[in-house]
Copies of this chain bind each other. A is one copy, B any other.
Amino acid sequence: MRILVVNVNTTAAITDAIGAQAAGAASPGTEIVPLTPSFGAESVEGNYESYLAAIAVMETVRAYPEPFDAIIQAGYGEHGREGLQELFDVPVVDITEAAASTAQFLGRTYSVVTSLDRTVPLIEERLHVAGLSARCASVRASGMAVLDLERDPDAAVDAIVEQAVRAVEDDRAEVICLGCGGMSGLDERVVERTGVPVVDGVAAAVTIAESLVRLGLTTSKVRTYAAPRPKRMLNWPPKLG
Q: Which residues of A contact B (CB under 8 A)?
A: 10, 25, 27, 37-43, 45-52, 54-55, 58, 79-80, 82-83, 85-87, 91-93, 97, 101-102, 104-108, 117-118, 120-121, 125, 128-135, 145, 168, 172, 174-175, 195-197, 199, 203-204, 207-208, 210-212, 214-215, 217-220, 222-226, 228-229, 231-236, 238-241
Contacts and interface: CB of A to CB of B under 8 A. Distances in A.
B43 A215 contact: no
Report the copy number of this chain in the oligomer. Answer: 6
Contacts of A235: 38-40, 238, 240-241
5 contacts: A40-B234, A47-B82, A48-B83, A49-B228, A145-B229
A112 to B, nearest CB: 15
Contacts of A239: 238-239
A117 B223 contact: yes
